[in-house]
Amino acid sequence: MTGRSERQSDRQRSNAVRTFICIEVPQSIRERIARLQEALGRHEARISWVKPSNIHLTIKFLGDVEAARIPAVCSAAERAVRLSSTFDIEVGGAGCFPSAKSPRVFWVGLTAVPNPLAQLHGSIENELASEGFPREARRFSPHLTIGRVRSPKQASLVAEELIRDGFDAESFRVVEVIVMRSDLNAMGSVYTPIVKLKVGRQ
């Protein structure tokens, strides 16, 4: 019986699509993050830096979703986005999770969470819940992940420099939300849009 269960589990995984809902950031911000990563890379710390082309603002991470349920995810996201209007986000500041002394994730943040973004997140959560997807237990804390620590050696030095230098504020207008799939290959994660949704009231 165990062998049969494992084979069923493998089939379920092979039919799953790693999925998240996000906002892409402008090329100007990605280029500045690339320069920041290059500067921080002078330290001899083992950090896996996120490719600038993959940097985005995650609204909802769904993880592995059965392929048959992807249309429901897209429909839920479309309903939520339709309720929103275009709005501005100001990227600024930088830090790490969970602490500067023991960092695991490096990020560039937002100067504030604008109400329309919080409302969009809430609408997406509600619409997905109506389709049977679980709500996120953690508080919504939007950020741009720029690196993940692979070894604690000298990682705190990188964290100190990142926090000290920060990231100068830059704003952009949100007009689109993307339901994205993530696939792993030998070069890392490859992100492919499943659907791009124009924010409802322009």
- Residue 166's pLDDT is 93
How distant, in Å, are the alpha carbons of 7, 40, 85 from that of 158? 44, 6, 38
Average pLDDT over residues 111-134: 96
Q: What is the pLDDT of residues 137-148, one digit of tens each?
A: 999 999 999 999
The C-alpha atoms of residue 178 and residue 194 are separated, in whole angstroms, by: 7
Other residues' Cβ atoms within 10 Å of the Cβ of residue 37: 19
**pTM of the entire predicted model:** 0.88
Structure tokens at 15: 């039919």
Q: What percent of the chain has pLDDT over 70?
A: 92
pLDDT band at 200 (very low <50, low <70, confident <90, very high): confident
In CATH, the number for domain 16-198 is 3.90.1140.10
Query: Do 149 and 105 meet the contact criterion of CB atoms below 8 Å apart?
Result: yes
Query: Do 135 and 129 meet the contact criterion of CB atoms below 8 Å apart?
Result: yes
| Domains of the chain, residue spans | 16-198
Which SS3 state, helix, strand or coil, does residue 174 take? strand
Positions of E strands within 129-187: 144-149, 170-174, 176-185
Other residues' Cβ atoms within 10 Å of the Cβ of residue 152: 13
Q: What is the pLDDT of residues 31-85, one digit of tens each?
A: 999 999 999 988 888 999 999 999 999 999 999 999 999 999 999 999 999 989 9
